[in-house]
Amino acid sequence: MDPAVVRERLLLLAEYIEDLQEFSTFSLEDLIRDKRDRRYLERTLQLAIEACLDIGSHLIAELRFREPEDNRDIFRILVENGILGPEKRDDLTRMAGFRNVLVHDYARLDPAKLHWAVSHGLADLRYFAREIKDRFIDLPPS
């Protein structure tokens, strides 16, 4: 496995989390009122989730785990193989599902769901980043 690939995506993920953190105290009314902030949050959250999915896909391929059926399955596979804890499985798979909403159903995205994702979902992104960093970043390249 090439830790540089994982490290690069983790750096991007950290940047996205930091950007999202700035908005974690925004009210739902703030998001409804300001479409630019709302669009910025949608895209940044999408990028953060995609960074997690990219990291997960890379690990699955490199460690020769089973092929994921879809994006949600990436997190299931990481849990099955002890990379992530089972207590976060449902939260992480919901995160992958929310990414699909951001990408494919953006026109009907409920601002309340975006608000909840930014105000509560950052912990899941941080958890993922911490677990991957702690397990894989200090490995020498193979």
Q: Where are the domains of the chain?
A: 3-136
- Catalytic annotation on 115? no
Residue 43 annotated in active site:
no
The percentage of residues in the chain with a pLDDT greater than 90, rounded to a whole number, is 68
104 compared with 68, residue with greater pLDDT: 68
Give the pair of three-digit tokens for residue 13.
């993920």
Cα–Cα distance list, 77 to 24, 60, 63, 86 (Å): 29, 8, 11, 11
Please report the pLDDT score of residue 138 as a whole number.
Answer: 65
Which alpha helices (DSSP H) does 22-88 contain, by range? 28-33, 35-62, 71-80
Residue 92: Cβ-neighbour burial (10 angstroms; 0-12, 13-18, 19+): buried
Q: Is the CB of residue 17 less than 8 Å from the CB of residue 126?
A: yes
Give the pLDDT confidence of 52-84 residue by residue, as tens digits: 999 999 999 999 999 999 999 999 999 999 999
Who contacts 73 (Cβ-Cβ below 8 Å, separation ≥6)? none
Of the residues 76, 99, 126, 130, which is catalytic?
99
Distance in angstroms (rounded) separating the CA atoms of residues 118 and 120: 6
Q: Average pLDDT in the 15-43 region? A: 92
Fold of 3-136: Four Helix Bundle (Hemerythrin (Met), subunit A) (1.20.120)
DSSP 79-111: HHTTSS-GGGHHHHHHHHHHHHHHHHSGGG--H
Measured CA to CA, the distance from residue 39 to residue 138 in angstroms comes to: 36
| pLDDT recorded at residue 56 | 97
- Least confident piece of the model among 47-56, 100-109, 117-126: 100-109
Give the pTM: 0.91
Tokens of 142: 């193979």
Has residue 142 got a pLDDT over 50?
A: no
Which whole number is the average pLDDT over 75-94?
95
**Mean per-residue pLDDT, 8-30:** 93
- Which one from 36, 64, 104, 108 is the annotated catalytic residue? 104
Give residue 24's pLDDT band: very low, low, confident or very high (50, 70, 90): confident
Residue 140 has pLDDT above 70, yes or no: no
Higher pLDDT, 100 or 137: 100
As given in the structure block, the two tokens for residue 73 are 């399955």
